């Protein structure tokens, strides 16, 4: 199960079972998380990669929960720190409640499927000779589609969107890609890969 869906599950649970209206997650995460926030009338702030950003944000804004795609899940109940044991306990609680409330036979795969709203390609690492050159070209060619520069560049083309980041330690470009249609998403992702390779 992709971490996007685990984070979505937690935010969905907390927004229905607590008074907290503020959450935080990784800007690379699936857009389904923002859809859930809109449905539940809560706010989800998108942050750059790095666990220290989450701890600071939870403390400052009194957030109940925050999640990063690396698997770090932060809990207000645990002094705004991440803890895999607490994450597992809460996850089991969520599953148990769903199982108790389910009228039919409960299947975790079916429960998770509600969060698989979009076609998502797992983070792809692409080795390049000059990451800065790649960013310069992407920024120039897709300038009007840039929606965020918090961490790398995030682009939105309507039916698909993606984030491109540079590694701080290696000549690698990290790509997170998602869209509304599986076939188009894969085709546009392949085009982006070819474009970066040509750079």
Q: CA of 105: how far to CAs of 99, 100, 110, in Å? A: 8, 10, 10
Give the tens place of pLDDT for each residue, 124-164: 999 999 999 999 999 999 999 999 999 999 999 999 999 99
Q: Could you give the CA distance from residue 84 to residue 41 in angstroms, rounded to a whole number?
A: 28
Q: Which residues make Cβ contacts (< 8 Å) with residue 187, sequence separation at least 6? A: none
**Whether the predicted pLDDT of 75 surpasses 90:** yes
Q: Could you give the CA distance from residue 59 to residue 100 in angstroms, rounded to a whole number?
A: 33
- Residue 122: band (very low, low, confident or very high) from pLDDT cuts 50, 70, 90: confident
pTM, two decimal places: 0.89
Query: Residues 74-82: what's their mean pLDDT?
Result: 90
Burial of 112 (0-12, 13-18, 19+ CB in 10 A): middle
- What's the whole-number average pLDDT of the chain? 92
């Amino acid at each position: 199960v992709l971490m996007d869906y685990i984070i979505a599950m937690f935010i969905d649970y907390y927004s229905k079972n607590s008074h907290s209206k503020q959450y935080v997650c990784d800007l690379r995460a699936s857009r389904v998380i923002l859809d859930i926030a809109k449905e539940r009338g809560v706010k989800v702030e998108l942050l750059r990669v790095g666990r220290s950003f989450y701890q600071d944000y939870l403390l400052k804004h009194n957030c109940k929960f925050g999640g990063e795609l690396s698997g770090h899940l932060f809990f207000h109940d645990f002094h705004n720190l991440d803890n895999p044991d607490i994450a597992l306990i809460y996850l089991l609680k969520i599953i148990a409640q769903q199982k108790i409330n389910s009228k039919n036979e409960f299947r975790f795969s079916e429960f998770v499927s509600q969060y698989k709203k979009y076609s998502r390609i797992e983070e792809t690492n692409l080795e390049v000779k000059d990451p800065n050159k790649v960013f310069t070209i992407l920024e120039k060619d897709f300038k009007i589609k840039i929606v965020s520069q918090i961490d790398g560049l995030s682009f939105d083309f309507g039916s698909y969107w993606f984030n491109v980041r540079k590694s701080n330690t290696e000549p690698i470009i990290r790509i997170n890609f998602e869209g509304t249609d599986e076939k188009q998403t894969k085709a546009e992702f392949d085009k982006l890969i070819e474009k970066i390779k040509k750079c």
